[in-house]
Structure 1
Amino acid sequence: MRRHRSRRHRRTTPRRWYCLALIVAATTFAAACGLQAGSSLPFTMNPGSIQHNDNLTGVTLTVGSKEFTEQVLLGYILAFSLQAAGAEIRDLTSIVGSQSTRAAQLSGQVQLTYEYTGNGWINYLGHEKPLPDPMEQFKAVRDADVAENNIDWVALAPMDNTYALAASKAVVERTGVRTLSQYAELAKTTPAQAKTCVDTEFNVRRDGFPGMAQAYGLDPATVFRSVLQTGIIYNATASGTECLFGEVYTTDGRIKGLDLVLLTDNRSFFPHYNPAVTLSTDLARQHPEIEQIMTPVSQALTNDEVMELNRRIDVDGEDIAAVARDWLVNKGFVAAG
């Protein structure tokens, strides 16, 4: 699903130079990859509970996303919903990396994306400490992004694709570990029974393993860890050999597909990554119907719903656009063209 978690690269440059770098990156990326054009959507959607809106007739909107499964899925859900309402949609899903996607939006090449609140707060706005309440985190990132970048956040979804540790059912039953506090205690007392697999980024990030270890009173240097590619970690954790515990993302379909058990973050360390639709403040003022259309769609995007959609794509091998279309049709939001 994700070869790397590009959406979680933490900003380290001063903010004004960071913004300049994003603009330059947008220009360079567009020139190299043809971002200006986009493409038409693979399917045509007709109105369902999303009714045709005269204010969107003839309006061309470019929808973007990052390149990993869930982001492309959310991009198509956004694009098909607005197409059913009457907008002409240009498809710029699958842009490589958070920074390129953000740069494309700041430059106006992408007008709408689904973005994660924790990513916006930490990565784009440069804050070190996330807010523990999901709604307060949403309000904070929205208000700050409007003030600093004229980017509005609307239609928050309840799904929360954050970091977690997971284990197989056999490991959970053998060790009795179901929470991160219990994991930390096991790592202290019996390190060999807490062998853990993480990817490169999670291994060093402040909101990754080192920060988690500190929050749970654990010295990260004492934990037996293997650094693997993200995709390998899921299968290795399910086998329970090299990885007794593994880093995962909480809406990944492979959790269900491989019957993994998520450890409870009982001290609420990990940031919230709830997706919301992001768009310029000008576009939000010109077309308030976008928020009205997308709010009920976003509200239907729960962890269980999105995990199952991700599973169909990453485990069963179904087409991302078709999965997005079928979900919208089954929910009654749209009718297939």
Structure 2
Amino acid sequence: MRASRARPVTLIGVLIATVSLLAGCGLVSSSGTFHDARLPDGARPLDGAELTVTSKSFTEGVLLGKITATYLAAAGAEVADLTGAPGSASSRQAQLNGDADILWEYTGTGWVTYHNQTETISDPQELWQRVHDIEKSENGLEWLPPANFNDTYAFGASMPTAERLRVKSLSDVAALPVAERTFCVDDEFFSRSDGFVPMLQKYGIPYNDPNGVPAGNVTRMDAGVVYTATAEGQPCNFGMIYTTDGRVKNLNLVVLADDRKFFLPYSGTAVVREEVIERYPQLRELLGTISQRLTDDLMQELNGRVDIDGEDPADVAYDWLRSEGLVAAPG
């Protein structure tokens, strides 16, 4: 998870079977956790390579790991699947220890959680470059160019609410009458030093201020309940969401633009151990082929297939790769 964020995990029983922790030696994979496939042209640019792919345990992390494992194995690599590592520390530590080679990370996580930086860098490319440089020099990790999705904090509204109030951005929310500035947030986001209260300050509507956002306008609830409350427009017009969560599309929520650039970018990025990418430079092109196709809308769709429809992440990963013409059935 990123910066202690809680994320939905609906397939815990399946994922726990995927990864085990062994004292003293980290993670071990179980077999058969992703689909066999081949590249459509039959090429095997990674023939002879042995790679270990890990991921964090929340849905999006597992999906990215399954996509990567399936695609690289189709390209000829022998892939050990360590996706679904509990928490964020075990997958990160496995890569730092050399027990895992490839892990999808987030630029905001690298900046805030791993390197304790407090400066807010709103430009996604600049933040990626800063994280890339620190990680390469300090940890021997290569953060490849980021994908086209940003799984960060945001505020959403139901379509009827957004249309009724004519809001498209957080500045539009700040311009509303005080009575309409009602919010649903979870306790963790409310209390964060880069969360709700400083966000309101940034937009000129300070918390617990009769001319800003009175305390009575804010309802604190479990993160999962925020989505349904926001969709229903009760007890709040606006709810804290994650931009690539499957419920955004499923509940037809409108994501409001953070036009004053308060929230740190969390661009998804494939991270490879430096010695591994030097040995297999083909990984740059192969992982770039995946990255350039990943968008906020696509991740909402794929996450929703797991969290809402109950599909297996390995199936969703394989189906998407086939739909993009990146892999074909074996044989």
TM over 0.5, shorter chain: yes
SS at match of 1:336: coil
Q: How many Å apart are 1:323 and its aligned residue? A: 0.8
Q: CA deviation at 1:242?
A: 2.2
Deviation at 1:141, TM superposition (A): 0.8
Aligned to 1:80, what secondary structure does the other structure show? Answer: helix
Aligned to 2:319: 326
Kindly indicate whether residue 132 of structure 2 is the aligned counterpart of residue 139 of structure 1: no
Q: 2:39 aligned with 1:47, yes or no?
A: yes
Partner of 1:15: none
Q: Map 1:65-214 onto structure 2 (within 5 A).
A: 65-186=55-176, 189-191=177-179, 193-214=180-201
Q: Which has the higher helix share?
A: 1
* Secondary structure class of the residue paired with 1:226: strand
**1:71 deviation in Å?**
1.0
* Aligned equivalents of 1:319, 1:92: Cα separation in 2: 16
Q: Is the 8 A contact 2:141 2:271 kept in 1?
A: yes
Q: Secondary structure, in 3 states, of the residue corresponding to 1:334?
A: coil
Distance in structure 1 (CA, Å) of the matches to 2:106 and 2:39: 27
Q: Deviations over 1:50-72 (max 9, x none)?
A: 8311xx33332211111111111
Residue by residue, what CA displacement relative to the aligned partner does 1:195-226 show, whole Å, maximum 9, x if unpaired? 21112321122332123112112222334222
RMSD between aligned residues: 2.1
User: Size of the alignment, in residue pairs?
Assistant: 309
| TM-score computed with the length of structure 2 as normaliser | 0.87
**Higher mean displacement: 312-321 or 139-148:** 312-321
2:27 aligns with: 36
Give 1:286's aligned residue.
279
Q: Is the 8 A contact 1:65 1:114 kept in 2?
A: yes
- The code of the aligned residue for 1:67 comes to S
Partner deviation per Cα, 1:220-251 (whole Å, 9 max, x = no partner): 23342222222221112111112321111111
Aligned-partner residue type, residue 197 of structure 1:
C
Structure 1: runs of 5+ lacking an equivalent: 1-5, 11-28
* Contact map agreement 1:50 1:333 (CA 8 A) in 2: no
Amino acid at match of 1:298: S
CA distance in 1 between partners of 2:224 and 2:275 (Å): 39
1:94-113: CA deviations, max 9, x gaps?
Answer: 12222232122212222211
Equivalent residue, structure 2, for 1:335? 328
Task: Please give the alpha-carbon distance, in whole angstroms, between the structure 1 residues aligned to 2:207 and 2:172.
Answer: 15
Indicate the residue corresponding to 1:18 in structure 2: none
The DSSP-based 3-state class of the residue aligned with 2:38 is strand
- Residue 234 of structure 2 corresponds to which residue in structure 1? 241
Q: Distance in 1 between matches of 2:151 and 2:310?
A: 21
Query: Which stretch shows the higher mean deviation, 174-183 or 240-249?
Result: 174-183
Quote the Cα distance in structure 2 between the aligned partners of 1:162 and 1:68.
14
Question: Unaligned 5+ residue runs, structure 2?
Answer: 6-19, 209-213
Question: AA paired with 1:52?
Answer: R
Please give the residue correspondences for 1:217-296 in structure 2 after superposition, counting only pairs within 5 Å: 217-221=204-208, 222-223=214-215, 224-296=217-289
State the distance in 2 between where 1:45 and 1:300 align. Answer: 19
- 1:32 to 1:243, Cα distance in 2 relative to 1, 3 A: farther
SS at match of 1:254: helix
